[in-house]
Amino acid sequence: MARLFLGLDSSTQSLSAVVIDLDSRTVVYEKSLNFDRALPGYKTQNGVLPHRDPLVKHSSPLLWADALDQIFAAMKADGVALGEILAISGSGQQHGSVYLNRTAAAALKGLNPKKSLVQNLRGVFARKTSPIWMDSSTAAECAEIRQKLGGIKATAAATGSDAFERFTGPQIRKFAKTEPAAYAETAQIALVSSFMASLLAGKIAPIDYGDGAGMNLMDIRKKVWHAGALTATAPKLKAKLPPLAPAGKVIGKVSSYFVQKYGLNAEALATVWTGDNPASVIGLGLIKSGQVAISLGTSDTFFGSMAKCQTDARGEGHVFGSPAGGYMTLICFKNGSLAREKVRELYGLKDWNAFGKLLAKTKPGNNGAILLPWFDAEIVPRVNRPGIHRFDLAEKDAAANARAIFEAQMLSMRRHSAWMKVAPECIFATGGASNDRALLQVLADVMNCRVLCIEVSKSAALGAALLAAHGCLTAAGEKPQWSKLVAGFTNPVAGSEVRPDKKAAKIYDRLLEKFAECEQTALAGL
């Protein structure tokens, strides 16, 4: 009999399922359920409830529970061998929080398969809606927490990140301040990940080290709740938080609800879920220090793995516990593909092929020309006022600007990841722009390391399935090695390797200093 494992990913807009066969190293089933289309009764727009305040972004936890029922029903209808699945793990959109009252534990334990999950969960919430990662209404609370913890550097050193509006701690503080009665009624605060794991396990699930680090509440080095951060956030908070645990750790057998209703294996194990970013680290195969993935999408995201904890004194980057052990980092650059496209449009280039031909007319280093492409407010570095800044770069020079946008983005990644103190051995490129060979060559030259393309569909759900396998094998007394577990699932695209040009790499070593000076000059003028 095949060894099957199920990974689920509850993201902002959808719930995805991936089933893997560990022995054949194959994904045997994939499914995604879009919230807006599949569950229109919740009236979400791109998974988010409309609100008169554009800074407030909430969703309904009942929506996520309803989606879980629907995806299991779909798997059963599609003939998935649910009776052969050995373990389930998952990932959830990071930072979102769910507020449960004192009746929740009993409701989870007694889930009735004759009713839907929504019917079973009526009355268990101390707060009807859940603030999610997109919510940016907690600037005041961030400032209060940051001040109590000693500033940006101290907050990042303690919790892995500066206090950010979308993080869970500031959201909890705002809730306690604005709705004290509802906060008092809250018995358990879950994350999206631990809430979904609780449904599967039929009991309150732990929060893992990866997702826990996205709360500004966990001691990033000791991996326990940070007493000072709890005090700075809200009263009696520790009693409302579940324990912390490693991702993939077995909680127990899955709830009989899923066994009786959908035919899930009665011996299947429910495990601790993690956040979507930590799960993607596994799904992309970033299992040892020095491995980096760069997602070249609407925003550009830098994922890194490191053995020892380093935090960013400037508070720009984030450090989470990695499900593979050690730590992972995440740095998000808002001006990614949209900025590249705006430069292309500015010079009337119809496609990326034309863009690449223009770029080929220039040399690495661009004769010292620097572009800071802050078309939109930037996350890293923190830029609240958009603006385009050129240094020794003529706006009318189309070829130089084409190279400048690529070089600027890659130099910024190198500069703002230096705090990690981990030189990448290789970089896995993913996302839409990873098909652009010219961009990958600049990336390889600036970082002075190999670049490999990787195409992994639903990396978070795949990572979750691999976490389920790891947890199951560990519980059986085995000592699974991550390198062997991910093999075959996370292989790079054949023939995609791009090697750095050593002469170009030396040019970028020198240009990095000028880039830093130009950035400081531009920031000082804002």
pLDDT per residue as tens digits for the range 4-31: 999 999 999 999 999 999 999 999 999 9
Q: Evaluate if residue 235 carries a pLDDT over 80.
A: yes
pLDDT at 342: 95
CA distance 69 to 117: 7
| pLDDT band at residue 59 using 50, 70 and 90 as cut-offs | very high
| Of 454 and 114, more confident | 114
Q: Is the predicted pLDDT of residue 101 greater than 90, yes or no?
A: yes
Average pLDDT estimate for 234-242: 98
> What local confidence, expressed as pLDDT, does residue 2 receive?
86
Q: Are 158 and 226 in contact (CB under 8 A)?
A: yes
Q: What is the pLDDT of residue 526?
A: 77
User: Can you give the pLDDT at residue 298?
Assistant: 86
Residue 340 has pLDDT above 80, yes or no: yes
H or E, element range at 65? helix 61-77
pLDDT for 422 equals: 84
Q: Summarize pLDDT for 411-439 with one digit per residue, the tens.
A: 999 999 999 988 898 999 998 888 889 99
pLDDT at 126: 98
Return all residues near 421 (Cβ < 8 A) that are at least 6 apart: 306, 310
Share of the chain above pLDDT 90, in %: 90
Domains of the chain in sequence order? 4-279 (3.30.420.40), 285-455+494-526 (3.30.420.40)
User: In this predicted structure, what is the pLDDT of residue 434?
Assistant: 86
Backbone angles phi, psi at 236, to 5 degrees: 50, 35
Instruction: Check the CA dihedral 458-461-465-470 and report its sign.
Output: positive
pLDDT for 454-474, tens place per residue? 887 789 999 999 999 999 999
Q: Taking 90 as the threshold, does the pLDDT of residue 381 lie above it?
A: yes
d(CA 470, CA 485): 8
Task: Tell whether the model's pLDDT for residue 120 goes beyond 80.
Answer: yes
- Helix spans in 161-317 (H): 168-178, 180-185, 192-201, 209-212, 227-233, 256-262, 276-283
- How does pLDDT run across 157-176, given as a tens digit for each residue? 999 999 999 999 999 999 99
Asked whether residue 185 carries a pLDDT value surpassing 80, the answer given is yes
Is the separation of the CB atoms in 253 and 205 below 8 Å?
no
- Quick one: pLDDT at residue 384? 85
133/36 Cα distance (integer angstroms): 18
In this structure, how many other beta carbons lie within 10 angstroms of the beta carbon of residue 227? 10
Residue pair 299/133 in contact by the 8 Å Cβ criterion: no
What mean pLDDT do residues 58-64 have? 98
pLDDT for position 288: 87
User: How does the average pLDDT of the chain come out, rounded?
Assistant: 96
pLDDT tens-digit readout, 274-299: 999 999 999 999 998 888 999 998 88
Lookup: tokens for 18: 């991936």
Query: What is residue 433's predicted lDDT score, i.e. its pLDDT?
Result: 84
Mean pLDDT (whole number) for 307-313: 94
Report the pLDDT value the prediction gives residue 34, as an integer from 0 to 100: 96
Pairing of strands 274-275, 269-271: unpaired
Q: Which amino acid makes up residue 425?
A: E
